[in-house]
Amino acid sequence: MKKTRFISCLLLLCLLLPVAVSAVGNISVHSVPTAATIMLDGVNTGLTTNAMVENVPSGSHTILLQMSGYQDYSQLVTVINNQTSTVSFTLVTSTPAPTITSISPYSGYNTSVVSITYLAGSGFATSGTPGIVLMKSGLPNITATSVSVVSASQITCSFDITGKQAGLWSLVVTNPDGQSATLTNGFEIKNPGTAVTLSSLTPNSGVVNTTVTITDLSGSGFLNTATILLRKNYENDLPGTAVNVVSGSKITGSFNLNGRKPGSYDVCVLNDGTTPTCGLAFTIQSAASTANGIINIKSTPTPSKVFVNTVYQGYTPMILENITPGTYAIVLRLAGYNDYSENVKVTAGNTAYVTASLVLSPDATTATTTAPITTVATVKTTAKSTVKVPTPWPTATPAPASPVSPFVILGAAGIGLIGLRKW
């Protein structure tokens, strides 16, 4: 009897053990929006939200929701035997990988902090702060400070480039989710000694009390922070407005000529905001001169006399205003140099330029070279003629002071007296 009971208990225990080992439960998974793929412990269940994941072994499990255009969502779930656990989540739209299209300014001197006013692109994370660095092979990164995400397409920040190596650096923006974008060689660090040159200006004149638009100031070495101005002795500088550094060799902008004195002004570019490089001329014309023209005359060497249609005008350099349109003969004259002549055409409202390089006269060069020789030869010739050449005899007698000598006169007087006595 006891043996039978023992066997029965043993059989019952065997039946109960498998049930305890295979305890399972369910997980109800919901999301907004729906149709997200449900992953259980890294394995695709083949289900999408909203759905029930059944017969999940009791214990801890990881549910991962994935959906295109949304950030992944992961949650740890504890499954209890014969119970249903619930996972419910509103998916967050994912941020696409960022892109960089441009940076302004795109260069700066390695003597200060440069402020980036417009880092343009797309996909910049608006929640959290992107990491922004300048990178150059073999050198430590330069990390941006004061980063501000204005929008998904604009960021402002600053870089302390003091003492950093001059050259091209790549710009890298990394979103908090790890996605990044690179603008290769997008920023240039320059030394203050970088030379600026000016080559041409279009237009090169404007009428007083108007605003003139500079469409092309050409040169080299322009930084994106460059400014422009007009400068004239005894006049206040005239800063340019709406200045746009198109590239390292081209600047555009405007000058407001309201109340400015007519005349010739120097055009200057300031890369660092303080040190100007000047080298081109801009002419502010009076209102009356718009129907006439201007002749701007310069010479090397200077000053040289200026003649216009044979009429003396003064000395170079000079600007002749209110010139009636037409063609004029310009002659420049300087002692010791050949005359310089040129015909210029003057048109209404424009400036005609005469830039002359006078050539040293060959006659002046010869006279300077042979003068000492001529003087020595003259002295030698004179000495030779005085000493060695005797005066020939007879020679032409110089005109006498009296036609009869004193002795002849006395003799004649004596003969006359003797004759009178006899007579």
Closest CA to 332 of 314, 300, 357, 307: 307
Contact 85, 27 (CB under 8 A): yes
- Which tokens hold the place of 387? 């000493």
Is the predicted pLDDT of residue 175 greater than 90, yes or no? yes
Is the predicted pLDDT of residue 391 greater than 70, yes or no? no
Tell me the per-residue pLDDT of 318-347, one tens digit each, with 9 for 90 and over.
Answer: 999 888 888 999 999 999 999 999 999 998
Q: Which amino acid is at 277?
A: T
* Beta-bridge partners for 211: 256
Tell me the per-residue pLDDT of 215-244, one tens digit each, with 9 for 90 and over.
Answer: 999 999 888 878 999 999 888 999 999 999
Q: Which domains does the chain have, with CATH numbers?
A: 23-90 (2.60.40.10), 99-190 (2.60.40.10), 197-285 (2.60.40.10), 292-357 (2.60.40.1120)
Q: Could you tell me how far CA 53 lies from the centroid of its own chain?
A: 65
* Beta-bridge partners for 365: none
Q: What is the mean pLDDT of residues 160-187?
A: 93
